[in-house]
A and B are shown apart, each in its own frame.
Chain A
Amino acid sequence: MYSSVVRLQNTFGFFTTVAFVVAAIIAASDLLAPRTPSVGLLKTTNLQVVRGRPHYYSSKKEEYAIIKFSLDADLSSLFTWNTKQLFVYVTAEWPSVGGSGSGQNATNQAVIWDSIITSPSADHLANLGPIAMKKLKRSAAGKSIDPNRGKLSLKNQRPKYQISHPSGKVAEQEDVVLRLHYNVQPWVGILTWNQDADFWKWTTLRNNLSKKFKLPAIKKKVEKKAGASS
C-alpha cells in the first residue's frame, strides 16, 4: 500500500513534468512561425449619426454613429498549429478636445466590428447553430489548419456596434480613423496582439489605418436611402 502511493505519486509527478515541457515547447514554437499580416484596404463607405436611447427604458437620448466600411486583409500567416482562434476587430478612434490624436493612446476608442475566426481544430467550440456549424466544419474538412480563413474581404460592411460617447455627442466629430487589430489566441502559451514594431519573424500590421474622416451631422429623421459613398 505504502509503496503504491509512492509509485502513484512518482508517476503523476513525471506525467505533469512531461505535460508542462511539451506545452512549453508548443508555446515557444509560435516564435518560429513567421507572421506577415497585410492590409490591402480599409476605408469607410457610409457614415451616419442618429439619435437613440441606450436601452428601451432610458429617457436619455444619445447620438450614435453608424460607420459602414470595406476591408481587405490577409491574416493567413497567423494560423499555425497552435492557433486556436483569431479575434479580428475594427475600432474607431478619435481625440477628445485637448487630447492627443489617434494611436495607441487615442483618447476615445470603440470597437465597431469584430469577428471570431476559429482554427478548424477549434470549430467544435464555436458558438453557432447546427446548420452554420455544419457549414463551417465542411469548409475545412480534412484540414487542421486552414490559413484561407485569414483572408478577409468585406464590402460595405454594416458595423456590429453603433458607437456613442459618455458625453452623448459624436455628431460632427473630426479626425476619426478606423483601425484594424487582431488577437491570436493560442491553444497554449502567450496571447498576442498586432505589435507596434517588427519583432524577429513577426512583422507589424502596416496600412491598418483608414483615412481621417469627419462624422456627419445628425439626421433629423431616419431616411430610407443614404448615400453610397463617403
Chain B
Amino acid sequence: MLSSLQNPRQAAAQLMNFGLILSTAFMMWKGLSVISDSPSPIVVVLSGSMEPAFQRGDLLLLWNRNLVSETNVGEIVVYNVKGKDIPIVHRVVRKFGLGPDAKLLTKGDNNAADDTELYARGQDYLARQDIVGSVVGYIPFVGYVTIMLSEHPWMKTAMLGIMGLVVVLQRE
C-alpha cells in the first residue's frame, strides 16, 4: 500500500518489481529478435492486401535465418522500403539470381498488380537485406489491440496509467 513508500527499501523494491516487469518483457522481445535474427520477430498485419490469408490485427511470427534454404518464391515476407516507415507483408512471386544479390519481386495475394509501385523510386526489385523476416507462424486477431491503441491514442495513455497504478499499488 502507499504506506510502504515510507520505507525506502520497500519503495525501491516495489519500483524494481515494476521495472523488472517492463525490462523482462523487453528482453524477451530482444531474445526472440536474436533467435530469429529479425529486428521485429512479431508483427501485426495492418492492411488487407494478403486477404483472405491475413486480416488486419492478425499476429505473424517471423524467421529471418536461411538455415536450410534461401528465401524462396512462395514465401510470405515482411520487408521495409527505404523512406517508408511501415513494413509490408507480401508474397515473393519472382526471384532472379542466388544469394544476397538475388532480385526479389513481391505481390499481395489480394492485389492485382505486383509491388513495383510500392518500392522506392527507381527500385524494381527487393534485395535479401530489405527483408525483415519470413512468416512462419500465425495467430489470428490478437494484435488488434495494438491497432486500436495506435488509432485511438487516448486508450494508450489510459492503459499505461492503469497498468502503472495497479503495479505500484499492488504487492506480489
Which B residues contact A (CB, under 8 angstroms)?
A: 51-53, 55, 69-70, 72-76, 91, 93-98, 103, 109-110, 116, 124-125, 135-140, 166, 169-170
Interface size, chain A (Cβ < 8 Å): 42
Question: What 1/0 mask marks residues of chain A from 128 to 156 whose CB sits below 8 Å from any chain B CB?
Answer: 00000000000000000000000000000
- Closest residue of chain A to B113 (Cβ to Cβ) is A55
Distance between Cα atoms of A161 and B69 in the complex (Å): 25
Q: Which residues of A contact B75 (CB under 8 A)?
A: 193
Please tell me if A37 contacts chain B, counting CB pairs below 8 Å: no
Chain A contacts with B in 102-145, Cβ cutoff 8 A: 104-105, 107-111, 114, 116, 118, 122, 125-127
Interface of B is mostly: loop
Contact call B138/A127, Cβ cutoff below 8 A: no
Minimum CB–CB distance from B60 to chain A (whole Å) comes to 9
Binding site for B on A (CB under 8 A): 2, 5-6, 9, 23, 54, 84-85, 87, 89, 91, 96, 99-100, 104-105, 107-111, 114, 116, 118, 122, 125-127, 161, 163, 165-166, 181, 183, 185-191, 193
Query: CB-CB < 8 A to A6: which residues of B?
Result: 170
Known: A125-B51, A185-B138. 4 other contacts (CB 8 A): A6-B170, A84-B52, A109-B96, A111-B74
Q: Is the CB of A161 within 8 A of B137?
A: no
